[in-house]
Amino acid sequence: MKKIFIAILVIVIPLLSFTSHKFYVSITNINYSEKDASFQITSRIFIDDLETVLEERYGINPKLATQNEAKIADEYIEKYFRAKFTVALNGEVAAYSFLGKKYDNDVIICYLELADIDLSTLKSISVQNEILTDMFEEQKNIVHLKWKDQKKSFVLIRENNKGMLNF
Predicted local distance difference test score (pLDDT) of residue 67? 95
How confident is the model at residue 14, as a pLDDT?
A: 45
Burial class of residue 19, CB neighbours in 10 A (0-12, 13-18, 19+):
exposed
Give, for all 167 residues of the chain, the pLDDT tens digit.
Answer: 545 434 443 444 444 444 444 778 999 999 999 999 999 999 999 999 999 999 999 999 999 999 999 999 999 999 999 999 999 999 999 999 999 999 999 999 999 999 999 888 999 999 999 999 989 999 999 999 998 888 999 999 989 889 888 87
pTM of the model: 0.84
- Inter-residue contact 119 to 32 (CB < 8 Å): yes
φ/ψ of residue 95, rounded to 5: -85, 130
pLDDT at 8: 44
- Residue of 152, 99, 98 lying closest to 127 (CA atoms): 152
Q: Residue 63 and residue 34: Cα distance in Å, rounded?
A: 37
d(CA 127, CA 109): 18
- Domain residue ranges in the chain: 23-166
